[in-house]
A = this chain, B = another copy of it.
Amino acid sequence: MLEGIKENYYELVHYLQENSRLGGVMGILHWDQEVIMPVGASESRAQQLGTLAGILHEKSSSPEMGKLLDKLSQADESEFSSFEWCNIREARREFDMATQVPKALVTELAELSSRAHLVWVKARSENKFSDFAPVLKRLVDLKIKWAGYVFPDLEPYDANIDLYERGTTQKDITPIFEKLKAELIPLIKAIEESGYKPDAGFLSGHFPLEKQEALGRKISEDMGFMFDQGRMDVSVHPFCGGSHPTDVRITTRYRTDNFVESLYAVIHETGHGLYEQGRMQEGRDLPVSEALTMAIHESQSLFWERMIGQGKQFCAYYLPLIAETFPQNFEGVQPERFYEAVNVSGPSLIRVEADEVTYPMHVILRYELEKGLFDGSINVEHLPGIWNAKMKEYLGVEPPTDTLGVLQDTHWSGGAFGYFPSYTLGAVYASQFYQALIRAKPDMEKQIEMGNFAPVRKWLGSQIHQHGRLLSVPALVKQVTGENLNPDSFLVYLKNKYRQIYRLN
């Protein structure tokens, strides 16, 4: 019996590896499309991706897969290692999600999100929310229906969140976000009203692309990114993609009048890249080794970008190199001044341009709107008004147009509801992890000040990257930090840092 069950497992492994490789292939096609594909190829590329998506869906929802999983589900968990059981569990989840939704709904969702994206692009450019509203409403309706099929025991919005942040529900998120709101709104106001403004003028100037590129590459390499198993290129929006842990591809974008934005994009994407390159050696073509959730992925990029890269020690260590790279701007600049300049905070209209203090408010606003859309307490037509009112309340600014307000993000147009919370959960986890690291290695900041990042990378690797999907998020966070999801470290970190920078004490 055990013999037979193990054979079933090995058959499953074969299927899963094939699917993982197809997923990797799609990763390369996406990367190619964003980075180097000739513009004229967009239609043929869409068809290639469509064909692959179809094959992948067919394979992960095939009757053979179903039969195999049924046999494996009858076995006892104890007959498998936790590694094996994780693969079975992941395959089951994938199969159920792919097969429980009626085909008509799948098709309508796919077609509608594809059309909605075009509608959104046009509506945004013409500042006409009313053009986008009907498709948005339909998307919400379909996603509520979808939730009923896939996770009938969850509230519809929780089901959507589960896609990105499995096991986390509004019950977990709402109190965290309420606490953040309560403490961050006053902090944002205090920063705004502070008489002290860090001088960041020296960060503007002319910064040749080749020099920026070399600087970014050096810092990424110092952080531990392996360029023999990855690449760094240019795309319109920075991202981390690729096809395999041995083929991790990060991107950034360059502006000649500002190097900080690009540099911190490199650091952010390197954080994602280190997670991928750091996956366990065994089972790299199996779900067990994959990154856990969106928030944990984001915790890694934010850890490096914010906890490390925007920290005092990092700024102090790299200032000489940066000053050597851009001598005309950095003459006489002291580390403290550089540190303050990269940490300037202030309310703004656009989420992706927000700093670490104001960013959570952008996310909380969207979370509250999505919640309302899914529980029926908010009508789509009222979104612009509510958006603007909340912006005023949370950040003290009001979008002059919907293009700079409710129409700014691409997520909803693609049917991605429940994604936004991951950004801020990631920030919260990042600061919890940082606290745990400091407790485990009290001389860490001294190491960073000497440019030694290996201990940080190794700690993240052994504590997080190596575990793949073996543990749930709550179990992992508990194991690493000794506590549950908790906004306190994040709030203490923000308040200490920004009170000092803005002389608020």
Chain B, residue nearest A285 (CB): B47
Interface residue? A201 (CB, 8 A): no
Q: In the assembly, what is the distance between CA of A463 and CA of B99, in Å?
A: 51
Which of B44, B226, B246 touches A43 (beta carbons < 8 Å)?
A: B246
Cross-chain contact B22 with A226 (CB below 8 angstroms): no
Min CB gap A126→B, angstroms: 27
Cross-chain contact A48 with B36 (CB below 8 angstroms): no
| Contact partners of A48 in chain B: CB under 8 A | 21-22, 24-25, 28, 243-244
| Contact partners of A54 in chain B: CB under 8 A | 18
Given A32-B32, A47-B285; A244-B25 close (CB under 8 Å): no
Cross-chain contact A246 with B25 (CB below 8 angstroms): no
| Contact partners of A230 in chain B: CB under 8 A | 38
Within 8 A of B (CB), among A208-255: 226-231, 243-244, 246-247
Which of B40, B51, B52 touches A246 (beta carbons < 8 Å)?
A: B40
Min CB gap A374→B, angstroms: 37
Return the CB mask of A18-61 against B: 1 if under 8 Å, else 0. Answer: 10011011001100100011111101110110011011000000
Cross-chain contact B38 with A227 (CB below 8 angstroms): yes
**Residues on A facing B (Cβ under 8 Å):** 17-18, 21-22, 24-25, 28-29, 32, 36-41, 43-45, 47-48, 51-52, 54-55, 226-231, 243-244, 246-247, 284-285
Chain B, residue nearest A55 (CB): B55
3 cross-chain pairs, A with B, having the tightest CB-CB distances, nearest first: A41-B247, A40-B229, A44-B244
Given A18-B51, A51-B18, A55-B55; A243-B41 close (CB under 8 Å): yes
Min CB gap A129→B, angstroms: 34
Q: In the assembly, what is the distance between CA of A43 and CA of B21, in Å?
A: 12
| Contact partners of A231 in chain B: CB under 8 A | 36, 38
Cross-chain contact A243 with B21 (CB below 8 angstroms): no
Cross-chain contact B55 with A246 (CB below 8 angstroms): no
Cross-chain contact A244 with B32 (CB below 8 angstroms): no
Given A48-B21, A51-B22; A37-B247 close (CB under 8 Å): yes
| Contact partners of A29 in chain B: CB under 8 A | 25, 28
| Contact partners of A39 in chain B: CB under 8 A | 228
| Contact partners of A32 in chain B: CB under 8 A | 28, 32
Chain B, residue nearest A284 (CB): B44
| Contact partners of A243 in chain B: CB under 8 A | 41, 44-45, 48
Q: In the assembly, what is the distance between CA of A226 and CA of B28, in Å?
A: 23
Min CB gap A16→B, angstroms: 12
| Contact partners of A38 in chain B: CB under 8 A | 227-231, 246-247
Chain B, residue nearest A27 (CB): B48
Cross-chain contact A25 with B25 (CB below 8 angstroms): yes
Q: In the assembly, what is the distance between CA of A340 and CA of B36, in Å?
A: 39
Min CB gap A240→B, angstroms: 14
Chain B, residue nearest A40 (CB): B229
Min CB gap A242→B, angstroms: 8
| Contact partners of A43 in chain B: CB under 8 A | 246
Chain B, residue nearest A229 (CB): B40
Other A-B pairs beyond A21-B48, A25-B52, 4, CB < 8 Å: A17-B47, A21-B47, A38-B227, A44-B243
Chain B, residue nearest A226 (CB): B40
